[in-house]
Structure 1
Amino acid sequence: MSIFFILVGLVLLVVGGEFLVRASVGLSFKLNLSKMVIGLTVVSFATSAPELLVSVQAALEGSSDMALGNVIGSNIANIGLVLGITAVISALAIDRDFYRFNWPVMVLFSLALYFLLSNDGKLTAVEGGGLLAALGVYLFFLIRRARKSREEDADGVDEGLGQASYFKIFIWLIIGALALYFGSEWLVSGAKDLATAVGVSEYAISVTVIAIGTSVPELAASVIAALKKEKAISLGNLIGSNIFNIASVLGITSLIRDIEVTSDAILGTNIYWMLGFAIALLPLAFIPKTLQIGRFKGLFLVGAYILFIALAFAA
Structure 2
Amino acid sequence: MEYLYVFLGLVLLVVGGEFLVRSSVALSFRLHISKMVIGLTVVSFATSAPELLVSLQAALNGFSDISLGNVIGSNIANIGLVLGITAIISPLAIDKGFYKLNWPVMMVLSVALYFILKSGKVITRSEGVALLLMLLVYLWVLIKHAKNERSTMPVDDSIDEGLSKTSNFKIIVWLLIGGVSLYAGSEFLVNGAVTLAEGFGVSERVIAVTMIAVGTSIPELAASVIAALKKEKAISLGNLIGSNIFNISSVLGITAIIQPIFVKSEEVLTNDIFWMIGFSAIILPLIFLPKSYQLGRKRGILLVAAYAIFIGMTILK
In structure 1, the partner of 2:60 is 60
| Match runs of 1:14-93 below 5 Å | 14-93=14-93
Determine if contact 1:146/1:153 at 8 Å carries over to the other structure. no
Mapped partners of 2:27, 2:295: distance in 1: 36
CA shift, 1:230, in A, is 2.9
Range 14-23 or range 217-226, more displaced: 217-226
Residue 169 in 1 paired to residue 171 in 2?
A: yes
Amino acid at match of 2:130: G
SS of equivalent to 1:32: coil
Amino acid at match of 1:263: S
Structure 2: 5+ residue stretches without partners: none
Range 301-310 or range 214-223, more displaced: 214-223
CA shift, 1:155, in A, is 2.8
| Match runs of 1:229-244 below 5 Å | 229-231=231-233, 233-244=235-246
Q: Pick from 168, 180, 183 the counterpart of residue 182 of structure 2.
A: 180
TM-score by length of 1: 0.98
Determine if contact 2:93/2:235 at 8 Å carries over to the other structure. no
In structure 1, the partner of 2:315 is 313
Determine if contact 1:222/1:232 at 8 Å carries over to the other structure. no
In structure 1, the partner of 2:209 is 207
CA shift, 1:232, in A, is 5.5
In structure 1, the partner of 2:9 is 9
In structure 2, the partner of 1:139 is 139
Determine if contact 1:221/1:233 at 8 Å carries over to the other structure. no
Mapped partners of 1:62, 1:153: distance in 2: 42
Question: For 1:238-287, what per-residue CA distance to the aligned partner results, in whole angstroms no more than 9, with x for missing partners?
Answer: 11100000000000000111100010110011100000000001101111
In structure 1, the partner of 2:110 is 110
In structure 1, the partner of 2:124 is 124
Residue 227 in 1 paired to residue 232 in 2?
A: no
In structure 1, the partner of 2:305 is 303
SS of equivalent to 1:152: coil
Determine if contact 2:95/2:236 at 8 Å carries over to the other structure. no
Closer, same or farther: CA 232–305 of 1 in aligned 2, 3 Å: farther
Mapped partners of 2:50, 2:23: distance in 1: 15
Determine if contact 1:92/1:294 at 8 Å carries over to the other structure. yes
Mapped partners of 1:220, 1:232: distance in 2: 16
Range 84-93 or range 124-133, more displaced: 84-93
Question: For 1:143-172, what per-residue CA distance to the aligned partner results, in whole angstroms no more than 9, with x for missing partners?
Answer: 000001235243322111110000000000
In structure 1, the partner of 2:295 is 293
Closer, same or farther: CA 177–270 of 1 in aligned 2, 3 Å: same
CA shift, 1:234, in A, is 2.0
**For this pair of structures, how many residues does the alignment match?**
315
SS of equivalent to 2:208: helix
Question: For 1:30-55, what per-residue CA distance to the aligned partner results, in whole angstroms no more than 9, with x for missing partners?
Answer: 11111111111111101100000000
Mapped partners of 1:100, 1:15: distance in 2: 34
Determine if contact 1:26/1:164 at 8 Å carries over to the other structure. yes
Range 174-183 or range 220-229, more displaced: 220-229
In structure 1, the partner of 2:96 is 96
Mapped partners of 2:141, 2:286: distance in 1: 26
Structure 1: 5+ residue stretches without partners: none
Determine if contact 1:102/1:240 at 8 Å carries over to the other structure. yes
CA shift, 1:229, in A, is 2.7
In structure 2, the partner of 1:248 is 250
Question: For 1:109-131, what per-residue CA distance to the aligned partner results, in whole angstroms no more than 9, with x for missing partners?
Answer: 11111110011100000000000
Mapped partners of 2:292, 2:96: distance in 1: 11
TM-score by length of 2: 0.97
Please identify runs of 4+ aligned residues in structure 1 that moved more than 4 A.
none
Q: Pick from 270, 273, 276 the counterpart of residue 274 of structure 1.
A: 276
Mapped partners of 1:240, 1:6: distance in 2: 27
